[in-house]
Amino acid sequence: MKILVADDSKVMRQIVIRTLRQAGYSDHDLVEAVDGQDALEQVSSEKPDLVLSDWNMPRMTGIELLQALRGAGQTMPFGFVTSEGSPDMRERAESAGANFLISKPFTPEGFKEHLDPILG
């Protein structure tokens, strides 16, 4: 399985990838996108099985990315990894078609809870 990690912070992409490894997902292919626009382009070229995306990013935000993907008929699982975990943001994420929202700071256990049902 291939996981696309979208975050404008290089450090945060590294932390997400390290946490994925710690959560036991070392065997999956990991690709990185530097913002929502890059992620949208990489979804076409890389065809990931899961997208993990930050919310606040330059050029295209995570919610705009999700809306663009769902608008184009892309149905792959999509989860936010964001510092904003308020009920309002969770509702916006869900209504736009997100499968889950992991709030920062996160733990490997939090990743497993949301990713195991999707990645097995």
Partner 1 sequence: MSIPVQSDVSSVMETPNVAALISFEDLHAILEQVWASYLHSGDELVPLAAAPAVEQISASVSVSGAFMGHVVFATSASAATQIAAILMDLPPQEVSEDDVADCVGEMANVLGGNLKSLLPGPSVLSLPIVMSSNGGNAMRWPDATVALESELTWHGEPISVTVWAQIDPDL
Shortest Cβ distance from residue 46 to partner 1 (Å)?
15
| Beta carbon nearer to partner 1, 1 or 9 | 9
DSSP state of 118: H
* Shortest separation between residue 12's beta carbon and partner 1, angstroms: 5
Closer to partner 1 at the Cβ: 1 or 86?
A: 86
- Residues 6 or more apart whose Cβ sits within 8 Å of residue 82: 54, 55, 56, 62, 89, 101, 102, 103, 104
Q: Return the sign of the alpha-carbon dihedral for residues 63, 89, 1, 118.
A: negative
Which residues bind to partner 1, rule: CB under 8 A?
A: 8-12, 14-15, 18, 34-35, 38, 56-59, 82-86, 88-89, 103-107
Q: Token pair 């929502």 is at which residue?
A: 36
- Cβ distance to partner 1 smaller for residue 1 or 33: 33
Q: Which helix (H) or strand (E) holds 80?
A: strand 78-82
Q: Which is nearer to partner 1, 20 or 35 (CB)?
A: 35
Provide the minimum distance between the beta carbon of 54 and partner 1 in the complex, in angstroms, as a whole number.
9
- Least separation in angstroms between residue 53's CB and partner 1 is 14
Helices (H) and strands (E) in the chain, counts: 5, 5
